[in-house]
A and B are shown apart, each in its own frame.
Chain A
Amino acid sequence: MAPQIQTGTYAKKGKLGKRFVRSIPFYLMALPAIAYLFINNYMPLPGLVLAFKNFNAKKGIYGSDWAGFKNFKYLFATGEAYTITRNTLLYNFAFIIINTILAIFVAILLSEMRSKFKSVYQSLILLPYMISMVIVSYLVFAFLSTENGFLNNTVLKFFGKSPIPWYSEKKYWPFILVLVSCWKVIGYNCIIYLSTILGIDRTFYEAAAIDGAGKIKQITKITLPLLKPTIIMMTLLAIGRIFYSDFGLFYQVPQNQGALFPVTNTIDTYVYRGLIQNGKPALSAAAGLYQSFVGFVLILSANLIVRKIDADSALF
């Protein structure tokens, strides 16, 4: 018995060794990515302890004194955590609901369109997605600039209204930001739904038409039910990222105007300002860790649910 077991383990070792040797070229191929992800994603992780420190630039992250949960207590006690969390969540909810409904609406119209204009419409609606947020902020400025903007000088004048100082009146910004986000991402989202619709078997529609179902009925009885899995998937994945916001949208488009912070400050802009402008890196790190941690839990849970519904759509 004994020698047999030995040959068995030898054989296994030999196999493992062979597998290892065969794997070497692939390890070499993986090397650049391993090194890059190490630098970009893993090396910073120990720096998260900064969230628990009294940061002192002279002593560095690791030399600074421990502060326990002081930074977090400050964040929550001053209400800053509340404001940035509320803004991040409410905007994301609005984006999820409005952008999803509009994207589906556009996707359905495009899918039913029997005209060569279809691709023209699609290209134009997708175009804003390709434009950087800095330039978007210029586009918005052309409309909203207090002195020279199109709205104040042309639209409001036409209606005989007095100019509005858009960049210091916070009450308009939730609408402006939702509008801008919608303008920018509708084309992108609608392509995802469109590709699902185009994958639907056309015979369903032909059969329904023979049975006398009109366009609207075909859409509500065939297209929408068959879109449901995609809608659920997209929504769940968006919920998984609900603690993250588009930094450019909330920082560039309101042009970093202090008067607008109560309605434009999200976790991402707060972290940025604390680090670069206000010199409070420890508070920033605490807000960032709060975001990463909740974000982690949300992504895991959202994915768990997605995997239950449709394993192929899951991230992992």
Chain B
Amino acid sequence: MFTKQEKIFQTVSHIVLAILAINALLPMILLFMSSITDDNVLIKEGYKFIPKKFSLYAYEYVFKTGPAVPKAYLISVILTVSGVVLSLLITTPMAYALSKKYVLGRGFLNFYVFFTMLFNGGLVPTYMNYTNVIGIKNTFFGLLLPGLVTNGMYIMLMKSYFVTSIPDEIMEAARIDGASEFKVFRTIAIPLAKPIITTIGLFAGIGYWNDWQNGYVYLTKRDDLYSIQNLLNRMVQNIQYLSANSQNVANADIGLASIPTVSIRMSMAVLGILPMLIAYPFAQKAFVKGITLGGVKG
């Protein structure tokens, strides 16, 4: 039973939230609609929400013009998977070690992780180090390495989960039964820490899928290593990039008349967004949980 005031409040809430929700979607709708509109119509009338003349030519062009897009997809997938796995392999054991009070030198280790959250050299020294000393410029590691653990935040987050949510007694009991520390970690701590591991893996995954900066900074000569984001980034400046870079120079041979200059940007962006949109409904719950878990500090 709603009171009258409650009813008004609910109605107004619905309207406001619906406007905000539509507002969140609108740009993506414009993007999608433009990508399936005929290029000539776009040139004349600009990007519109309702296509006057429907055309999938931009997509056809993207896929027929060369292997750049499927390849970039593949690299994005490999990058995201290896990024998530490596991030977790680095973060989880460290967080677990820090959660053990009796570890000698724990204070130092804590500070070692923690200092990275307070102070960092910034882009220039990091770039110089990765380029001149480590030598990852123009390699796949240029995409992978700089983002594995951006700072100690996730380690600290996971550490506090280990401390507060996993009872010491279970692990102690297993140890007394003769299990090694590694076995306790693997068979007890990790399964119990699944929620936080999922969360941090998800954040790392979103980070890697969306990252364009590493490729922009570290891949100056190897555009064959471009992820989908790097490809998109490159096309902001150079619309011809996709075709200029493909082996199929003679477009006529494969039945492509001309570059759909206006719609192609939009179709590329749709291709960039699509995997995220497909994954979103599944990942969303864990994502929301993750934000509440680490949000205040993130």
Give B137 Cβ to nearest chain A Cβ, in Å: 12
- Indicate if the CB atoms of B125 and A47 lie closer than 8 Å: yes
Q: Give CA–CA (A291, B124) in the complex, Å.
A: 12
Across the interface, B97 reaches (CB within 8 A) one of A27, A192, A268, A275, namely A27
A148 to chain B: closest residue by CB? B46
Which residue of chain A lies nearest to B271 when distances are taken between CB atoms in the complex?
A: A135
Contact of A29 among B27, B31, B96 (CB under 8 A): B96
Interface size class, chain A? 35 or more
Residue of B nearest to A137 (CB): B236
**A138 CB, min distance to chain B CBs, angstroms:** 4
Of listed B90, B104, B115, B149, residue having the most chain A CB within 10 A: B104
How distant is the Cα of A268 from the Cα of B126 in the complex, in angstroms?
14
- Asked if B20 CB lies within 8 Å of chain A CBs, one says yes
Question: B46 contacts A132, CB within 8 Å?
Answer: no
Contact A44 B128 (CB under 8 A): yes
B124 touches A150 (CB 8 A): no
| Contact B93–A30 (Cβ < 8 Å) | yes
B233 interfacial by beta-carbon distance below 8 Å:
yes
A30 touches B109 (CB 8 A): yes
Beta-carbon contact of A40 and B145 below 8 Å: yes
**Interface residues as binary, B40-77 with A (CB distance below 8 Å gives 1, 0 otherwise):** 00110111110000000000000000000000000000
Stretch at the interface among B165-173, B191-199, B242-250, B261-269: B261-269
Known: A20-B104, A139-B28. A106 touches B213 (CB 8 A): no
Look across to chain A and name the residue whose beta carbon is closest to the beta carbon of B123: A271
B46 touches A149 (CB 8 A): yes
The answer to the question of B118 belonging to the interface, with a C-beta cut-off of 8 Å to chain A, is yes
How far is A36 from B92 in the complex, measured between Cα atoms in Å?
Answer: 13
CB closest residue in chain A, given B4: A214
Question: Once the chains are docked, how many angstroms separate the CA of A132 from the CA of B215?
Answer: 14
A260-316 at interface with B (beta carbon < 8 Å): 268, 271-272, 275-276, 281, 284-285, 288-289, 291-292, 295-296, 299-300, 313, 315-316
B37 CB to nearest A CB, Å:
11
A126, A143, A183, A256: the one within 8 Å of B23 (CB): A183
Q: Is A227 among interface residues, defined by CB-CB distance under 8 A?
A: no
CB distance from B39 to the nearest CB of A (A): 10
Chain B, residue nearest A110 (CB): B17
Contact residue among A109, A115, A138 (Cβ-Cβ distance under 8 Å from B31): A138
- Could you list 20 A-B pairs, sorted by A, with CB under 8 Å? A30-B94, A33-B93, A33-B113, A36-B148, A39-B134, A40-B149, A41-B115, A48-B121, A124-B21, A126-B287, A132-B209, A135-B269, A135-B273, A143-B47, A152-B46, A192-B295, A214-B5, A215-B6, A281-B128, A285-B122
